[in-house]
Every structure is written in C-alpha cells, then in structure tokens.
C-alpha cells in the first residue's frame, strides 16, 4: 500500500495540527483513512496498526515518501517485526506515490477541504467521518485506468471497472 499524510493546517503551518494518514492499495484502490493529532512517528505507527487490523487482506508492504514521519527506526522496526516490506519513493519525486496522491485530493480534500483542524475534538470528528467515507470509497464502483494512448488531437483512455466483492467483509 502507498501511504501519505495530508496536512490540515489551513494555510498556517505553525504549531501542531491534524494530519490524515491515507493508505491506498495499488492493485485494488482500497483506501483507508485515519486522522491523527500531528505527524509524530508514534501516531503514524499507531494509525498504520489500526489500518492493518481492519484491512480485508494481509498488509504485505508499505511504500511512503521520504518524510521523517515515515523514515525512522521505530516504524522500520515495527515493519520488520510484522514482516511488512517497507520501501520509499525517491526524494523530490511526487509521482512515485501517484495512487495515494490522487486519493489525497479526490477523497480527503474534496470531503474535508483545506481548513485547519488542530483540536482533539476535530480529530475525533474527522475519524467519525472517515468511518463512513471508507465504506463509500471501498464498496462503490472503482474505475482504474488501464491504458492511455495519445494521437495528434485526441487522448484515448481505456478504463477498467472494478467491483469489489461485498460479501465476506
């Protein structure tokens, strides 16, 4: 799964503010969201543990950007202990994690906006919203681009519609 944090600083990056941990399975598009109080590695690791416990499949690997909230010894040790492969994207290459970056906008920003959330109560309500939002995002029809061909005047996209099974979850 690709992982990333979405900051909820509302244009003011001073002090602590909420972050949303966004985790996206590259193959299926399965998306998990958890709001945390700041980007300390402790909260990130706890959020990943929470997601691991509710996934309908085994978490085998995570791929992050190069932020210090992900690249640290406690998270590496946790991944080794749980036999989870941990990889990271290249520095200054935002397209390395394009699946999660796309969901940062289409799910997180479109539903909670660009406001500042910095209280425990706001984190609580973000997580309440995400409990419903994850169901909507994961159990509705998902379209995934399979091919893109460009000609002189047109761009042809081929889409594959994935309908995830709803039984057994």
pLDDT of residue 38: 95
Distance in angstroms between the alpha carbons of the first and the last residue of the chain: 19
Question: Tell me: the pLDDT tens digits for 106-134?
Answer: 999 999 999 999 999 999 999 999 999 99
Please answer whether residues 77 and 10 qualify as being in contact, where contact means their C-beta atoms are separated by less than 8 angstroms. Answer: no
Question: Tell me: the pLDDT tens digits for 28-78?
Answer: 889 999 999 999 999 999 999 999 999 999 999 999 887 888 888 989 999
Show the tokens assigned to 36: 């945390």
Separation between Cα atoms, residue 137 and residue 100, nearest integer Å: 13
pLDDT of residue 71: 84
pLDDT of residue 156: 60
Stated pTM of the model: 0.80
- Domains of the chain, earliest start first: 2-140 (3.30.420.10)
């Amino acid at each position: 799964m690709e992982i990333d944090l979405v900051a909820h600083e509302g244009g003011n990056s001073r002090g602590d503010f909420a972050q949303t941990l966004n985790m996206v399975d590259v193959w299926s598009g399965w998306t998990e969201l958890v709001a945390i109080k700041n980007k300390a590695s402790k909260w990130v690791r706890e959020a990943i543990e929470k997601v691991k416990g509710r996934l309908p499949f085994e978490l085998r690997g995570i791929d992050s950007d190069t932020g210090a909230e992900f690249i640290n010894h406690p998270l590496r040790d946790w991944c080794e202990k749980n036999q989870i492969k941990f990889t990271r994207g290249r520095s200054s290459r935002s397209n390395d994690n394009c699946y999660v970056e796309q969901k940062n906008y289409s799910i997180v920003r479109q539903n909670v906006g660009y406001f500042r959330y910095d209280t425990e109560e706001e984190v609580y309500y973000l997580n309440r919203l995400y409990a419903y939002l994850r169901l909507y995002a994961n159990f509705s029809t998902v379209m995934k681009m399979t091919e893109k061909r460009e000609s002189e005047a047109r761009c042809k996209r081929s889409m594959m519609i994935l309908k995830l099974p709803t039984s057994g979850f």
